[in-house]
Chain A
Amino acid sequence: MNAKTTSALDLDQSKYNFIDPESAVYRSARGLTRETVIDISRQKKEPDWMTDARLRAYEVFLGKPMPRWGGDLSEMDFDAYTYYIKPSDKREDRWEDVPENIRKTFDRLGIPEAERKFLAGVGAQYESEMVYHSIHEDLAKKGVIFLDTDSGLREFPVLFREHFASLVPPEDNKFAALNTACWSGGSFIYVPKGVKLDIPLQAYFRINSENMGQFERTIIIADEGAQLHYIEGCTAPQYSTKSLHTGVIEIFVKRGAKVRYTTIQNWAHNIYNLVTQRAIAYEGATMEWVDGNMGSRLTMKYPSIYLVGEHARGTILSIAFATNDQHQDAGAKIIHKAPNTSSTITSKSISKGAGRTSYRGLLKVAKGATGVKASVKCDALMLDPESRSDTYPTMEIDEDKVAIAHEATVGKISDEQVFYLMSRGLSESDATAMIVQGFIEPFAKELPMEYAIELNRLIQLEMEGAVG
């Protein structure tokens, strides 16, 4: 992998902190009303059922109170956001056809290079719309669908309607309702029976405007015996006011199929990142969330897996890194509904300066789900005396014949380790970075190599100047 590819996946915030001149072809009026919702649906020329679904979700959104748990949402002003910004007139599948200013942004982020190097398909979302989607020809021939979600609705209406909001209904939570009311963009993926993708699909999300709400909706369906790995990366420049990112991701892993979903979220430090990620795994299926939360002002994100078929497996592996102005309220939920299902949750969090991390988790075993094996491991590392880390694990075990392991640790950087590494010539910040990198190694080793390298580099950057 050469240096250019690496830059596509670069996690260094400063590189993303540039703003393009505004050039949207359409923006909805500021704030969210019934008219805005209808307007978004009209702009997209959607069928009536979708307009109705949006309006119903809008009512649910209005009816639900703000969550009082998790992070501090008191400064969030729903009237301040623009809910729909259409950056260009259509979604292109040739890179040359993407409008020049947007192309330049993604070129700067290295997206098309990344695609040529090692991806099976790439999508790029700018503000509210996917501006680009492409997939390798041979995969398309095998019947693999990799579209932006709006095109998914148009081109595969039956498949779409069967799955949309079936796993995350608007009633689930206020932000899922908000997303359902004004969703736009995201990826729509279908992998047919028995088709195995051995290289990943990737989508890249970029917010450019100030006070913008991005509400992508992603639906992934892996049919029986299919396999895929989807990678998502997100960035936005730093503004003085807070933008909102509220995605919903629904993943269906049919019998014997396997899906891995890798996210590295590196939003600017003033973005509210409130995402609902849910997967359902049928008999013998495997679902894996690999979830990295680095950026944002506040993240509230608890990837979940419903294990509904016998021998289904679920893995949630996550890291959260919070510095001074950040709160990462992240976690994992696994619900065992069938016998002989198994799961592992591994959560690693690092808080630095006045940064705050919270682990919020749920492990549930339904009555009758015998032979369940589950393990939960949460490790928190605090780098400074003012750092904060909390753990809120919930277990609801309604079945006796199960094997559950639970382990939680909270620690500081060990002086003895720092001394040992320094005595071999590493500076204090390099020694500290190396210990932190070692701490998240169980996560990093699951990433594509380019991401792992960049993640380590970011930690290195975060440590410089942190210690004297």
Chain B
Amino acid sequence: MPELALDIRNLHAVIEEKEVLKGIDLEVPKGEIHVIMGPNGSGKTTLAHTLMGHPRYTVTQGEACLFGEDLLSLKVHERARKGLFLAYQYPVEVPGVTLSHFLWNACQAGRSGADGNGKKNPKEILAFRKRLNAALESLKMPADFAMRHLNVGASGGEKKRVEIAQMQMLTPRMVIMDEIDSGLDIDSTKVVAEGIRSLKGSEFTALIITHYPRILEYLQPDRVHVMAAGKVLCSRGMELARELEQKGYDWILKEFNVV
């Protein structure tokens, strides 16, 4: 049995008294790239937020483990420090906080023992700046983005690239990307896909939520899962993504008796 990065069993979650996740079962082995597709409103974002620990969602049943450790009992920042990262469908704006300042503190916080307030060591700061500049450059972002306030006034595509830059800086072990390719033009999709591909390897596991197979052609995922009405219907290879692109969801919903 390969080690599982993510192991979800019979996960149920409610928001505002409405059950949105109705028994999710999902396994993502370490080092693989998996995909979730599914109609609007099927619960994909809810699954991502629930795994990250968003306070609005309440888990009512089931389990979720990250590298064999229980995830659901941890606070949000503890999940992050265990190596879980969520790239958001709609990243939040934080006025007055520069990307650089935020990421510096986030990188410090991720380290064992550090509390995010440690005295700054000039050498470390220099190394951090170099890494951040390199990350921004690889995503074809101007270097001055580091000094801009977090997501404030950024275009949709820029926000998505800032998410990837954060991911590169924080070097997570398990990444969930919620529609990272939505709203991106053709060139930007390529840039973002390259950014993800550069991290590919035995220490990098990803779960990519998307509506489009284009980004998947770059990433060559190991497995494609289809979600509908709060459940995972089936899990197959990359050919499933192409089939869904051509035929839509109707046939598969019928096959599994989902209305």
Contact = CB atoms under 8 A, between A and B. Distances in A.
A425 B97 contact: no
Interface in B45-94: 52-56, 75-77, 79-81, 85-86, 88, 91-92, 94
A428 interface: yes
Given A417-B92, A441-B97, A425 B117 contact: no
Interface stretch (A10-18, A36-44, A432-440): A432-440
Interface in A424-465: 424-428, 430-431, 434-435, 437-442, 460
Contacts of A417: 92, 94
A420 B94 contact: yes
Contacts of B85: 423-424
A77 interface: no
Contacts of A460: 117
Contacts of A441: 95-97, 149
B81 A425 contact: yes
B128 interface: no
Nearest to B88: A420
A420 B109 contact: no
Contact of A426 (B79, B86, B116, B166): B116
A439 B93 CA distance: 12
A424 B96 contact: no
B106 interface: yes
B37 to A, nearest CB: 23
B97 A437 contact: yes
Contact of A423 (B52, B97, B105): B52
Contacts of B77: 422-423, 425-428, 431
A439 B150 CA distance: 13
B110 interface: yes
A415 interface: yes
Nearest to B167: A424
A422 B116 contact: no
B145 interface: no
A426 B54 CA distance: 14
B170 interface: yes
A440 B110 contact: no
Interface string B91-123: 110111100011101100110000111000000
Interface residues of B, number: 33
Contacts of B101: 434
A420 B49 CA distance: 10
Contacts of B76: 419, 422-423
A421 interface: yes
Nearest to B84: A423
Contact of A430 (B55, B91, B96, B116): B116
Contact of A425 (B96, B106, B149): B106
A7 to B, nearest CB: 13
B171 to A, nearest CB: 11
A284 B102 CA distance: 40
B117 A438 contact: no
A421 B110 contact: no
B166 A424 contact: yes
Given A417-B94, A430-B109, A423 B55 contact: no
Contacts of A96: none
A25 B11 CA distance: 76
A419 B54 contact: yes
B80 A424 contact: yes
A32 to B, nearest CB: 45
28 contacts: A415-B55, A415-B56, A416-B92, A419-B52, A419-B54, A419-B76, A420-B88, A420-B91, A421-B94, A422-B75, A422-B80, A423-B53, A423-B76, A426-B105, A426-B106, A426-B116, A427-B77, A428-B75, A430-B116, A430-B117, A434-B105, A435-B94, A435-B97, A438-B95, A441-B97, A441-B149, A442-B96, A460-B117
Given A434-B101, A440-B96, 19 more contacts: A415-B55, A417-B92, A419-B54, A419-B55, A420-B91, A423-B76, A424-B80, A424-B85, A424-B102, A424-B103, A425-B77, A425-B80, A425-B110, A427-B77, A431-B77, A435-B97, A437-B96, A438-B96, A439-B96
